[in-house]
Amino acid sequence: MNLTLSSNDHLNATYTEEDGTPLYQVTTPFSFTSKTATIKKAIPEFAEGTAALFTADHRYGSLAHVEFHAFVSSIMRIDGEEVKTSAFFTKGRFTLTALGRGRTFVGPDRREYQWILGHRTPTLVLNDEARTLVAKFHVKHYGIFRKARPPFLEISQLGMHMVDLILITFVYIEKLRRDYERARNRGVGS
Specify the DSSP class assigned to residue 33: S
Q: Which of 182, 165, 144, 143 is nearest to 153 (CA)?
A: 165
What predicted TM-score, i.e. pTM, was given to this entire model? 0.86
179: left (phi over 0), alpha (psi -120 to 50) or beta: alpha
Q: How far apart are CA 162 and CA 124, in angstroms?
A: 12
> What tens digit of pLDDT does each residue of 171-181 get?
999 999 998 88
CA 163 to chain centre: 10
Tell me: the pLDDT tens digits for 150-159? 999 999 999 9
Q: How many structural domains does the chain have?
A: 1
pLDDT attached to residue 180: 84
| Segments forming the whole domain that contains residue 8 | 2-188
58 bridge partner residues:
44
Residue 45, pLDDT score? 64
pLDDT digits (tens, 9 = 90+) for 15-61: 999 999 999 999 999 888 789 999 999 987 643 444 444 444 568 89
Per-residue model confidence as pLDDT tens digits over 72-100: 999 999 988 999 999 999 986 555 444 55
Say if CB 87 and CB 72 are below 8 A apart: no
